[in-house]
Structure 1
Amino acid sequence: MTRGTRRTAVLKVGGVGVLAALLFAGGLQLASAGENGRPATTAAQTVNCPTVRDKLPAVPAAASAQVERELANLDQEIARQNERLARLAVRPEGGPNFVNNAILGPLRSKRIAVLDRIEIAFNRIGAQRPDLDALATCSLNAPGVPSAVNGGAQGGTGGQNGDVGGQNGDAGGQNGDAGGAARTVDCPRVTLPDVPAAAAAQVQAELATLDKQIAEANARLARLAVRPEGGPAFIDNAVLGPLRSKRVAALDRIEIAFNRVGAQRPDLDALATCGLD
């Protein structure tokens, strides 16, 4: 299936958010087609994590690339867990403590490690080490509420699809300046017609997948800002090309979800290709 370019949308099940929102996040909302193409029906929950970028002091230039990489890791982890929550909305498992034990607990442990690396990045160059301990613990948003994310230094990183966070730009605007050089992917927003209730859970899960892919690509770009590799075509070949292939598959599954319940199959081909912010 061939796909061209335009910009990624939001589905509010009810809208990535993100990632999101958080698809972004899994925790998408489907709203009416008039609002970001999302119809109203049941939505998955998303993780509610404290933003970090806006809690940081001024980031020294010598630490900015490392800080950007770790902020991207935080957003990638949010996208990953929102995707899990979206899939749990389709196929529930475990008992009443499953989400705490299998998602929120491990997420806190991972955030502790990432936040510690951010603190060390300050300390290593002789700057005062910030105290980020209080930002490790996450809870859950109400169904359909997007996760807040940290975004890229020059704009939002994800959550374009209703689950990861913040209507495509929250992240960059609210979260201070990390001063850094990392670029982020610029993907078309996925605007959908009314989503039939019978297809909503599958569509949420796939929007969460799209946001996770964006977060993963942004994390790769953040790492490349720290340790460049390859020639001039490396990002196209190693980041944007594989991202397009993954989006083709996820968008195709969204189309099939409509078709499977007898609804008109939307044409999402033009939304597969991403560029760079």
Structure 2
Amino acid sequence: MVRRTQQHRKHAALKLGGVGVLAVVLLGGGLTLASADDAAAAPQTANCPTVRDKLSNVPAAARAGVEQELANLDKQIADANARLAQQAANPQGGPNFVQNAILGPLASKRTAALDRIGIAINRVGGQRPDLAAFATCGLNAPGVPSAVNGNAGNGNGNAGNAGNAGNAGNAGNAGNGNGNAGNGNGNGNAGNGNAGTGVAQRVSCPTVADRLPAVPAQAAAEVRRELANLDSQIADANARLAQQAANPQGGPNFVRNTIIGPLEDRRVAAINRIATAIGRVDGNRPAELVNLARPCSTK
């Protein structure tokens, strides 16, 4: 009886040892997979044709409307890039999900914005441009910034990407925003030129992406989403400024009270989420980042 009990214990120990080895193997595999995921490249971004550089001789009376729609096009790209970042962090759907759920709707929205640009020009006697070919977008390779239209005054706004914070989202892009790692400090929001002289004012806010500390890989996707949100907020404000230029309303404090102030409040929330995402991983929450939420101004 004692001998049987000893054999039973030995057999149980072997089983437990085997389970332990298997657990170690699985755990090791899991850690390897996690490390591979953490080291993954930045998400893809929308590859859309620029539009500003395709326009010429925009009548002065149409410029505000055109600027508003160019800002809308950039916002649409920022929104699509935010969704692509979410998809990279949490894949869903089948092989056609990105095309059907992100790029297809983006093309439809771009078609509408491009039509409004043509209508704005034609309404004041200009020749309506054929912009339909510029509605369809593809995908950039991971980490490659989207070309946007907001780099007013330089003809093409071809540097900058709202929402693609490659390399764990700790640099900037072209202009005055937060999107693309390693290319400056902006999101195509710089300047207020158009197809002639400036009409609508543009928002100028402190950049965030180039002021970030080292972003842990586990927090990179969330940081990218919030950088995209910051750029989208600026695009929204620029669209409202274009509307204000086309149809002025309110008193001398209207822009500050209804556009700039609310923008700064939204920036506080987004930047706090960035700091929380970083602190959640390494315990070192960069609380000072919130100082970059303001001041925003117009130029």
TM beyond 0.5: yes
Distance 1:178 1:97, change over 3 A: farther
User: Residue 188 of structure 1 aligns to which amino acid in structure 2?
Assistant: P
Matched, 1:272 2:293: yes
Matched, 1:161 2:175: no
Q: Which runs of 5+ in 2 are unaligned?
A: 1-38, 163-176
User: Residue 271 of structure 1 aligns to which amino acid in structure 2?
Assistant: L
Distance 1:64 1:116, change over 3 A: same
Aligned mates of 1:246, 1:50 — CA distance in 2 = 29
Aligned mates of 1:264, 1:141 — CA distance in 2 = 33
**Moved beyond 3 Å, runs of 4+:** 152-159, 169-173
Q: Using CA pairs below 8 Å that are at least 6 residues apart, which structure has the higher relative contact order? A: 1
Q: Which moved more, 1:209-218 or 1:116-125?
A: 116-125
Q: Which moved more, 1:258-267 or 1:142-151?
A: 258-267
User: Residue 275 of structure 1 aligns to which amino acid in structure 2?
Assistant: S
User: Residue 133 of structure 1 aligns to which amino acid in structure 2?
Assistant: A
Aligned mates of 1:169, 1:143 — CA distance in 2 = 17
Please provide the CA RMSD for this pair: 2.4
- Give the conservation status (yes or no) of the 8 Å contact 1:52–1:150: yes
Aligned match of 1:244: 264
- Give the conservation status (yes or no) of the 8 Å contact 1:72–1:152: no
Aligned partner of 2:200 among 182, 190, 210: 182
- Give the conservation status (yes or no) of the 8 Å contact 2:267–2:293: yes
Aligned mates of 1:77, 1:199 — CA distance in 2 = 24
Aligned match of 1:150: 149
Aligned match of 1:202: 222
Q: Shift of the alpha carbon at 1:124?
A: 1.7
Higher relative helix content: 2
Aligned mates of 2:88, 2:73 — CA distance in 1 = 23
Matched, 1:230 2:268: no
Aligned mates of 2:148, 2:194 — CA distance in 1 = 12
Q: Shift of the alpha carbon at 1:251?
A: 0.7
Q: Shift of the alpha carbon at 1:144?
A: 1.5
Aligned mates of 2:71, 2:258 — CA distance in 1 = 18
Equivalences for 1:1-277 in 2 at 5 Å? Answer: 42-151=41-150, 153=152, 159=162, 160-163=177-180, 167=184, 168=186, 177-190=195-208, 191-266=211-286, 267-273=288-294, 274-277=296-299
Distance 1:148 1:182, change over 3 A: same
C-alpha offsets along residues 65-109 of structure 1, whole Å, 9 cap, x if unaligned?
111111111111111111111222222221111110011111111
Highest CA radius of gyration, 1 or 2?
Answer: 2
Aligned mates of 2:249, 2:103 — CA distance in 1 = 34
- Aligned length, in residue pairs: 236
- Give the conservation status (yes or no) of the 8 Å contact 1:86–1:205: yes
Distance 1:208 1:163, change over 3 A: farther
| TM-score w.r.t. length of structure 1 | 0.78
Aligned mates of 1:105, 1:181 — CA distance in 2 = 32
